[in-house]
Amino acid sequence: MSQNEYRVRFAPSPTGYLHIGGARTAIYDWLLAKQSGGKFILRIEDTDRKRFVPGSLEDIKENLRWLGLEWDEGPEVGGAYGPYFQSERLDIYQRFAQQLIDEGKAYYCYCTPERLQQLRQAQEGAKEQVGYDRHCRDGSPEAREGMKRVIRFKTPLTGKTLVKDLLRGDLEFENNLLEDLVLIKSDGYPTYHFANVVDDHLMKVTHVLRGEEWLPSTPVHVLLYQAFGWEPPKFVHLSLFLSPDGKGKLSKRHGATSVKEYRELGYLPEALFNFLLLLGWNPGNDQEVISKTEAIRLFSLDRVNASPVRFALDKLNWYNGVYIRSLEPRDLAERCLPFLQKDGLLPEPCPAERFEYLVRLMPLVQERLKLLTDITGWVDFFLREEIPAPPKEMLIPKKLDAPTTLRVLRALLETLEKVPDAFAAGDLEAALHPLPEKLELKMGDVFMPLRVAVSGKTATPGMYEMLQALGKERVIKRLKAAIEVLAD
């Protein structure tokens, strides 16, 4: 491994779905690994069995892949430093904990949960700092064979610990304010802190990127590295996301917080990637649309922002429109297909000829689409053979009455019946364009009833393209149905 090849890990716990904050960390991790010719490692920190959420591991893997963040080492792909599930590395943590015990840097603690609870209550009652009182640090009076015990770290009681953070500079922590953290729990599992440090060392991780909520743990991590005589990795604690109004921390009540939800809402992975990339980093100029390939080239830690950033949903929506418009029709159709299938507008699997028809519709709606989930509203009347006849109130334009509208629809029918069967947009335009003048009516008063009659909606794609894509047969049929509504 050359000096410049970064080994960067994303280390989620399977305690929930992939969070957008986590996704941003993973994006930065991935970019650092790619641009340095290094490795992006996925390590699953599954040592807290009580907090395990079924399905979360699958969700994390699926959505990292959806964002295009394939890992070089980790679950399913393996690697030289595995296993990559912490639950499969228990013997390793035991060995290193034993080493610290042997060297007098860690100790067995036999304090019962009841004692610890009483201690906390007493400390809270006396308004003292809450924390372990180091009862067992110099030998435990309670120690007996077969008793439950944990292993704790002997945190130095004096002095200071320096955390070097690439974003935040050098941060000093007073050791006497740090606790004697548990390294191995009574069930034999390591704590997050211990497993994290041992693994980052054994996996030769060069850069640790994580949310700033982990910053208070870092001095103890640094002390652990020192206790082992290991060189710590470089730390980068990323800022929090603020709510869209900028008034507080982003939380569930502001809307979706998992990648899965954004995906289901109809965002493109390219848009989410680009949006998260710029949520805390900037390229040094006002370029906003940055592809993954460009990001690999441009990304650098010295442009990562240490202050909290506002989660501006309107910006994400804007990106989504930009990326939707950049897609080839076939690609866009492929991405819309699952949403249309879910809404029952296309069968699963979709027959080739129906898919080709969908591809043909894409240029008509591409400009108007903001979310992939909007697709149903734009194309349902194309994909259905029949639509319910629109009600009178919808068919009659504001300034027209029923008899005039009926006259308009009849004139439209007569005109359209004469258009050659191919229903080419050019022929349609030539036939329809002169009609308002002939009827001595405004454009809108002639075309709105037509639009509503064939689509059941007041907003649709462009008229001539829409009629062509619907085809003569369906247009004539729907016009006749609308005429019947008004003639009643």
Binding site for ligand GLU (CB under 6 A): 11-13, 45, 192, 196, 208, 210, 214
Indicate the residue type of 433: H
In the complex, minimum distance from the CB of residue 422 to ligand GLU, in angstroms, rounded to a whole number: 60
83 preceded by a cis bond (ω within 30 of 0) = yes
In the complex, least distance from residue 11 CB atom to ligand GLU, rounded to whole angstroms: 4
Amino acid at 245: D
State the Cα–Cα distance between residues 93 and 86, nearest whole angstrom.
Answer: 9
Shortest CB 349 distance to ligand GLU, Å: 38
92-97: long-range contacts (C-beta < 8 A, 24 or more apart)?
92/198, 92/202, 93/183, 93/184, 93/190, 93/194, 93/195, 93/198, 94/184, 94/188, 96/194, 96/198, 96/228, 97/151, 97/183, 97/184, 97/190, 97/194
CB of residue 189 vs ligand GLU: minimum separation in angstroms?
Answer: 13
Sign of CA dihedral 193, 198, 203, 207: positive
The residue among 63 and 366 lying less far from ligand GLU, judged by its C-beta, is 63
Q: Does residue 252 have an active-site annotation?
A: yes
**Least Å from the CB of residue 254 to ligand GLU:** 20
Name every residue whose Cβ is closer than 8 Å to that of residue 302 and which is 6 or more positions away in sequence: none
| CB contact at 8 A, 436 and 397 | no
- How many Å apart are CA 233 and CA 222, to the nearest integer? 9
Active-site residue identified among 252, 260, 370, 472:
252
CA angle (37, 41, 47) in 5-degree steps: 165
Tell me the catalytic residues. 252
